[in-house]
Amino acid sequence: MPRFAANLTMLFTELPMLERFAAAAEAGFEGVEILFPYDISATELRRASLSSGLEIVLLNTPPPNWAGGPRGFAAVPGLEERFRRDFERSLRVAQALRARHIHILAGRAEGEEAQDTFLRNLSWAAGRAPHASLTIEPRNLTDAPGYFLRDFDQAATIIGQVGVPNLGLQLDCYHAQMITGDLPGCWRKVAPLVRHIQVAGCPGRHEPDSGSIDYPGFFAELDQAGYRGWVAAEYTPARHSVAGLGWLRRQKAPPAG
């Protein structure tokens, strides 16, 4: 069975951030991810993580103005210095939190210059933090218009071109289904590159037991493939967070008989 992490930016928002750790542990999660943990003391976040027994699995970089602001800068020509400053900040926070992965957001861009910028910035970041696990994630253009990294073949090519062991793929199942219409087929194609997985129902990005994706079948396939990474619940609850966790309880229930 996969190890499940709660995205505390999107789940348990009925509570203050520092109280969400205990709620996630009580619900049965074993880890957490926080998209932008930059407005709360890293010391306090680390203390909450330790007291709840939950590993902090992932954070995003750089920290943008998410409400209508840019979705990262790594592929945006002319903003290399901004990207590097933000990456340095994210690296410091990730080290303080003992976070496992840093997700590098590409941003809105297109064309060969953006491709070259992304490759240079990824190579620089991987060299700057050789012991950190860095991920990139394709996002569908319906939810993220203009986002540079929009295809899994494109992501695989970029990872191959950068060619470093500490850069891998983040498989957001919602985006994969939106982009390809075939999450299992997408997984089988990119599995060797995958470092981290996120789940949500599709369409709607609500609980994983909503929508068209057969998550119990997908989780069984992950087990069969020997996937040892985390699976993070990154969705907007359709109702109260705890009330929507039936999918997790069913997944963690012992087999009948």
Cis upstream peptide for 62 (omega within 30°):
yes
The rounded distance, in Å, linking the Cα atoms of 40 and 228 is: 30
Cross-strand pairs, 7: 33
Judge whether 88 counts as a catalytic residue: no
The rounded distance, in Å, linking the Cα atoms of 21 and 140 is: 30
CB within 8 Å of 163: residues ≥ 6 apart: none
Q: Which of 33, 55, 137, 207 is catalytic?
A: 137
Judge whether 234 counts as a catalytic residue: yes
Q: Give the 3-state secondary structure percentages of the chain, helix then strand then coil, rounded to 5.
A: 40, 20, 40
Read off the amino acid at residue 176: A
- Best CA proximity match to 205, nearest among 166, 230, 178, 182: 178
Q: Which residues are catalytic?
A: 137, 234
